[in-house]
Amino acid sequence: MAVTMQEVKDNLRIDHDFDDDLIKRFLNAAEKYIKDSVTLSPNREPYFADNALYDLGVILLASHYYESRLAATEKEKKEIPYGVTSFITQLEAAYMEEG
């Protein structure tokens, strides 16, 4: 099951569709970032299918991209949320064990 835009919107508590195109771009970027951080193997897709850790990482990273999109924000800017970095490390280790 792939992460849906609605899951990201639910995490962000967004109930309008004004930013759907933007959220979709952030979702796609988050998926690619995490997958590429774990492995560049062309045979990687089955590993990420139905992977709860991957799904949660994508939701968190896409949400982070959305919340950090403006130069003027009340929140402190951070590169990548620590939880996402931790998920990537765990996903990478498990991927290496499988391969």
Share of the chain above pLDDT 70, in %: 89
> Does 75 have pLDDT greater than 70?
no
- pLDDT score of 82: 83
- The gap between the terminal CA atoms of the chain, to the nearest Å, is 22
Predicted TM-score of the model (pTM): 0.87
Query: Contact 57/84 with Cβ under 8 angstroms?
Result: yes
Q: How confident is the model at residue 80 (pLDDT cuts 50, 70, 90)?
A: confident
- pLDDT score of 98: 77
Query: Contact 31/58 with Cβ under 8 angstroms?
Result: yes
Q: What is d(CA 22, CA 64) in angstroms, rounded to the nearest whole number?
A: 13
- pLDDT score of 95: 94
Query: Contact 64/48 with Cβ under 8 angstroms?
Result: no
- Determine phi and psi for 16, rounding to 5 degrees: -120, 170
> Does 99 have pLDDT greater than 70?
no
CATH of domain 5-98: 1.10.3230
**Average pLDDT rounded to a whole number, residues 16-40:** 97
- Domain spans, the chain: 5-98
Query: Contact 61/4 with Cβ under 8 angstroms?
Result: no
Structure-model confidence comparison of residues 78 and 29, the more confident one: 29
Average pLDDT, the chain: 91
Q: What is d(CA 40, CA 76) in angstroms, rounded to the nearest whole number?
A: 31
